[in-house]
Structure 1
């Protein structure tokens, strides 16, 4: 897998999460770009990035994340993902979708209840050429 393929893989899941938000509640969807290349294990890396969905003033990010959680709890396996409620998050509906080889996608409401945040980590992959430190992807 290349860095571009890892980034594309992660962003497909980000896009799927964002697309499940009721279009009438969405003001703007914004991708956090560029992302970052992180070490997974010796010689392996993963691409990390994210997206945010800004909501209309009458929408609640907590409620929307709850709806998304119910959606993924029932069908995450159809996409090769495992749904997990995030532990220690109080009464929030925050959850994570886990994929193969370390892939994970965290979905949560921000502190102001106005944005759905999606933080993604691609599957781990090996690179033949080591990346330069500090580069963004």
Structure 2
């Protein structure tokens, strides 16, 4: 697999991501803690850290904080709710992120890809 194919936004790659998420509807004060299962392009599959399921729908605009578990850096952006995944998860799509956060997210993804490829050898 070529390295150029493994960049943020590539539609055919799905891989695990070691990160924690906090998600809230814009304007609300209730943040929900989640863990990431995998990332595919701009879409993040997340699992709820608690039993409470937030009442998001496809019209929900969300603020997200992605915390890299390895470096401790936090990436801030906006996302939309796409669909539920079973009873304890959901798919979110990142819709806006600043350049600095995108660079940090890309380096986190590159590190994860490198770890996955080394483990496959």
- TM-score normalised by the chain length of structure 1: 0.30
Q: Identify which of structures 1 and 2 has the higher relative contact order when contacts are C-alpha pairs closer than 8 Å and 6+ apart.
A: 1
- TM-score normalised by the chain length of structure 2: 0.32
- Say which structure is richer in strand: 2
- Say which structure is richer in helix: 1
